[in-house]
Structure 1
Amino acid sequence: MTVVVVGAGPAGLTAAAALAGRHDVLVLEREAAPGGIPRHSDHLGYGIRDLHRFVSGPAYARRLTAAALSSGARLETEATVTGWAGDRALEVTSPRGRRIISASAIVLATGARERPRPARLIPGDRPDGVYTTGQLQQLVHLRHLDIGRRAVIVGADLVSWSAVLTLRHAGCRPVLMTTPSTYSTPGRFPLFVPVLRRTRVVAVNGHGRVTSVDIEDLRTGSRRRIPCDTVVVTGDWVPEHELARLAGLPLDPGTRGPRVDTALATGRPGVFAAGNLLHPVDTADLAALDGRHVAPAVTAFLAGVPDDAPDDVRGVLLRCEPPLRWIAPQIVRPDGPPPVRGRLQLWSDAYVRFPRVVATQDGRRLASTRLPWPAAPGRVFRVPFTLVARADPTAGPVTVTLT
């Protein structure tokens, strides 16, 4: 039985390594090299939770690739999946031609991407020198090009601090970060870059090359001009969900990725999903743990393990209310496994230092818990699965709220 994994990032490579010992596994990757985003994130901080190592992004990508290959998985790069030819058949285009690949099971691990400047509707001129973090890292670490001398970073998330490291590696000075939020995610290292909260970029200026940006204070409406020759737009992640959408898989309106249960099964039998396609965006090692988590469910499906739940009991839908933007996974099935690391993943648009999280179903409180870690914009917020474990499979959706 063939398992096709679409995407050779941390989730896809880890899933392939876990599955290859029992099944014929083919990994399809549209880029020329496997590894995903870590392969061009040339700084430390990778592999802590999955490999129990503290390595650079490229070293992490090499380790995951080697693990998948040594387990017996086949890896094909420059292979783009362009569509579906059946429930579990994929249309693939590569320099070797076009073909259809049929599989017994499919794992979608296509990851996520940052919104570029046009998608964020940042007005002004259209000069060179405006990048996403991914573009910046590829230009610096893979193509070794000169970037500039003064940079403004749009965003103040974890990936924004990754951009700071890349800029400094390239000899470009980050002069400030700007974020509309009242909260900025602390960097993992003392990088000493000024952060302007409750501000936004209202214009990029320059002809040929960026010369400055205009920053507006959201509280007062006042504006100031910051000289720079480089602008990096960071964060604001969206899942690479084109394949899921073309397959007609139910998508979650919050994550905009495929809706999955705690085993990471989608709405189509035999099609699973893992990694930042499901929760844009989490750290690479936690995306990799998704890949490890999905393997038993794929194996059970291939073994023909029946689903004992009757047709009218297909699972309880999880949903959330503001300031929570999304929750993953979204479905709890009877006798299903707990989610990865026994925790639900959520995204909060507000900072709450000691949050109380409450789960209700049909007006009945299921459970509540106060957590010692904060809910903060710009990073995934985790809640124990026990909060919703007592949900009635015959009742309505469970609503998770934050106070």
Structure 2
Amino acid sequence: MTYQLPLIEPDVLIIGGGPAGLTAAAELADRRAGHILCVDREHAAGGIPRHSDHTGYGLRDLHRVMSGPVYARHLVDRATRAKAEIRTNTMVTGWSDEHTLDVTSPDGRYQIRPRAIVLATGARERPRTARRIPGDRPHGVYTTGQLQNLVHLHHQPVGKRAVIVGGELVSWSAALTLRQAGCTPALMISQYPKAESYGAFNAAGRTVLRVPVATRSRVTKVIGKGRCQAVEIEHLDTGKRRTVACDTVVFTGDWIPDHELVRAAGIALDESTLGPLTDTALRTSRPGVFAVGNMLHPVDTADVAALDGKHVAQQVINHLHGQQPPTAGVRLTVGSPFRWVAPQILRPDDPAPARGRLLLWPDEFVRFPKVTVRQDGRVITRRTLAWPAAPGRVFRIPSTVLDGISHTGGPVHISL
């Protein structure tokens, strides 16, 4: 006798209860799109802001600023008020078929077969092992997420003196958390000529938090038996090495999408972002499956991820009403100094991307970037932008730079 797992059939399943997933759930429920189910593997929804206990959240989506935990609670409350169903401690373990997912929760195993799926599983920082940094294997080595979870959710102590690896915006978030835990951030290390975060944050970090930054440097060894005792760092230009005493090391940034479900489904991946290929309507290569937030382009701020959730709602509703996308699409590609672009496919009659912006990731600092768009060997657009392109943060360009392209032509190439 074959055991049949219980089956539920919501109209929309949203996998991931962070800012993007919760905003999508609230928008869809507000628009009466049917039974909206949002599942999250953590014991509480809210995503990374839930354990990021400092201000700075909500500016672009809510037009006010609040702390991470308050922001997370606001998004949960809004989705709940809109009558979206949120299930926590719920892990989607795989695909039973193209339209059915296997789920495990404290209530047991069951299956979900929705009419549409929104993937909002976010991104994670690569740990030390994935960065292949040699040396000892002591206690006291974390990613930012692990550190904030330990300090803000579990109220556990960390060390007394820390080295932060990375100079992104999240790196300063780690510095704030360390300060709140009574641990001194002794040094921040960046491989770039200047810390990757915005200039205002770098200046405030140096003056208010008093964190020195070692640029053009990398960690070559972690030292310590039992507890971390030091790290060895190397200057990339001179090759000179020195040892910095510390009992805590925090590896920040270097993000990768949580894309296991995408890979398991055989959904097309972008080889540069490692997230799913999407068009400006945030469709993936599988009909009825959409993707939003930082699993598409690691990594952007929480409020921008939330606006992806708002943008996708109408596209999901169009799918529920039977709208079929055009089959043809022009592929967007990038050249130096960009690593990736998102979204990657432009189709005729599709909406502009969220906020009317294309997102790119530069590997070099360019103070006055002149964006060049080419197709079939012809220059379509050249536009100088007033804001710099900088490593470690998303570079946004108006999607209107693509207005002159041909939808029947070859790939569109964006470079500086």
Shift of residue 160, structure 1, vs aligned partner: 0.2
Within 5 Å, give how 1:177-216 maps onto structure 2.
177-184=188-195, 185=197, 186=199, 188=201, 189=204, 190-216=208-234
| 1:33 and 2:44 are equivalent in the alignment | yes
Supply the distance in 1 between the matched residues of 2:76 and 2:28 (Cα, whole angstroms).
Answer: 14
Supply the distance in 2 between the matched residues of 1:88 and 1:275 (Cα, whole angstroms).
Answer: 22
Supply the distance in 1 between the matched residues of 2:209 and 2:182 (Cα, whole angstroms).
Answer: 14
Point out where structure 1 has 5 or more consecutive residues left out of the alignment: none
Supply the distance in 2 between the matched residues of 1:192 and 1:254 (Cα, whole angstroms).
Answer: 35
Shift of residue 95, structure 1, vs aligned partner: 1.4
Supply the distance in 2 between the matched residues of 1:187 and 1:66 (Cα, whole angstroms).
Answer: 32
Query: Given that residues 3 and 107 in structure 1 are in contact (C-alpha distance below 8 angstroms), is that contact kept between their aligned partners in structure 2?
Result: yes
| 1:289 and 2:332 are equivalent in the alignment | no
Partner of 1:233: 251
Moved over 4 A (4+): none
Supply the distance in 2 between the matched residues of 1:241 and 1:56 (Cα, whole angstroms).
Answer: 28
Partner of 2:7: none
**1:139 pairs with one of 140, 150, 153:** 150
Supply the distance in 2 between the matched residues of 1:391 and 1:91 (Cα, whole angstroms).
Answer: 42
Point out where structure 2 has 5 or more consecutive residues left out of the alignment: 1-9
**Per-residue Cα deviation, 1:206-234 (whole angstroms, up to 9, x for no partner):** 10000111111111111111111000000
Partner of 2:88: 77
Partner of 1:257: 275
SS at match of 2:56: strand
Supply the distance in 2 between the matched residues of 1:15 and 1:238 (Cα, whole angstroms).
Answer: 22
Shift of residue 150, structure 1, vs aligned partner: 0.4
Shift of residue 368, structure 1, vs aligned partner: 1.4
**1:375 pairs with one of 362, 366, 389:** 389
SS at match of 1:46: coil
Query: Given that residues 161 and 187 in structure 1 are in contact (C-alpha distance below 8 angstroms), is that contact kept between their aligned partners in structure 2?
Result: no
The alignment's C-alpha RMSD in Å is: 1.0
> Number of residues paired by the alignment?
398
Supply the distance in 2 between the matched residues of 1:293 and 1:237 (Cα, whole angstroms).
Answer: 23
| 1:8 and 2:17 are equivalent in the alignment | yes
Supply the distance in 1 between the matched residues of 2:103 and 2:405 (Cα, whole angstroms).
Answer: 41
Supply the distance in 1 between the matched residues of 2:157 and 2:365 (Cα, whole angstroms).
Answer: 37
Supply the distance in 2 between the matched residues of 1:337 and 1:364 (Cα, whole angstroms).
Answer: 25
Query: Given that residues 293 and 340 in structure 1 are in contact (C-alpha distance below 8 angstroms), is that contact kept between their aligned partners in structure 2?
Result: yes
SS at match of 1:50: helix
Shift of residue 192, structure 1, vs aligned partner: 2.6
Aligned-partner residue type, residue 363 of structure 1:
G
Shift of residue 191, structure 1, vs aligned partner: 2.7
Supply the distance in 1 between the matched residues of 2:315 and 2:372 (Cα, whole angstroms).
Answer: 29
Give the TM-score of the pair, scaled to structure 1. 0.97
Within 5 Å, give how 1:95-114 maps onto structure 2.
95-114=106-125
Supply the distance in 1 between the matched residues of 2:226 and 2:324 (Cα, whole angstroms).
Answer: 62
Partner of 1:128: 139
Shift of residue 137, structure 1, vs aligned partner: 0.2
Give the TM-score of the pair, scaled to structure 2. 0.94
Supply the distance in 2 between the matched residues of 1:251 and 1:192 (Cα, whole angstroms).
Answer: 41
**Per-residue Cα deviation, 1:92-115 (whole angstroms, up to 9, x for no partner):** 111111111100000000000000
Aligned-partner residue type, residue 165 of structure 1:
L
Q: Percent identity?
A: 59
**Per-residue Cα deviation, 1:359-383 (whole angstroms, up to 9, x for no partner):** 1011011111101000001110001
SS at match of 1:20: helix
Partner of 2:400: 386
SS at match of 1:166: helix
State which drifts further: 166-175 or 184-193. Answer: 184-193
Shift of residue 52, structure 1, vs aligned partner: 1.1
Supply the distance in 2 between the matched residues of 1:223 and 1:395 (Cα, whole angstroms).
Answer: 52
Shift of residue 187, structure 1, vs aligned partner: 5.5
Supply the distance in 2 between the matched residues of 1:241 and 1:389 (Cα, whole angstroms).
Answer: 31
Shift of residue 306, structure 1, vs aligned partner: 3.8
Shift of residue 302, structure 1, vs aligned partner: 0.3
SS at match of 1:387: helix
**Per-residue Cα deviation, 1:61-115 (whole angstroms, up to 9, x for no partner):** 0000000000010010011111112222111111111111100000000000000
Aligned-partner residue type, residue 316 of structure 1:
V
Supply the distance in 2 between the matched residues of 1:206 and 1:87 (Cα, whole angstroms).
Answer: 48
Supply the distance in 1 between the matched residues of 2:369 and 2:40 (Cα, whole angstroms).
Answer: 40
State which drifts further: 176-185 or 138-147. Answer: 176-185
